[in-house]
Amino acid sequence: MAKAVQKVTLSPSRDIPFDKLVLSQSNVRRIKAGVSVEELAEDIARRGLLQSLNVRPVLDAEGVETGMFEIPAGGRRFQALSLLVKQKRLAKTAPVPCIVRDAASEILAEDGSLAENMQRIALHPLDQFRAFVALREKGQGEEAICGCLLRDAADRQAATE
């Protein structure tokens, strides 16, 4: 008799007000490399947030949810959003798309942070070229395309450090 395959359960996503989010000490990224927070903030201002933050509820001493959420994965995105709030380009209460992990999850916050940072794969150079050609054909200027190139080069350098 065949054994039943366990079903995968995905974490729910929801919008959480920016002022209910805090950085987590569980984020494994400590070294600053690649695209600066300022460049990322400008990219978010231009395109919007392309990837949700990974969050967990903050618990008080009794284990009760406080209404705040810590960010073990997505710290640079949060810092970029913070910069936009500081510049008054984003409201303090703006809804931020978040993937919410259960506070009691067996998956450690550090594990999720590590996975998010390690699972990234740089785009193949031919795919990059094709994307740049498509951008040019659709009217994107050289400066904007060069900005994409510079961000990509910084990301690749960061991946090797």
**Segment 83-102, tens digit of pLDDT:** 999 999 999 999 999 999 88
Whole-number Cα distances in Å, 118 to 4, 110, 122, 153: 31, 12, 11, 18
**One-letter amino acid identity for 116?**
E
List phi, psi (to 5°) of 55: -130, 165
Query: Higher pLDDT residue, 30 or 154?
Result: 30
What's the whole-model pTM score?
0.73
Q: Is the pLDDT of residue 106 over 80?
A: no
Positive/negative CA dihedral, 108, 60, 27, 85 = positive
HEC string of 41-70 equals: HHHHHHHCCCCCEEEEEEECCCCCEEEEEE
For residue range 37-47, list pLDDT tens digits in order: 898 999 999 88
Domains in the chain with CATH codes: 13-120 (3.90.1530.30), 121-160 (no CATH)
Q: For 96-116, what is the mean pLDDT?
A: 78
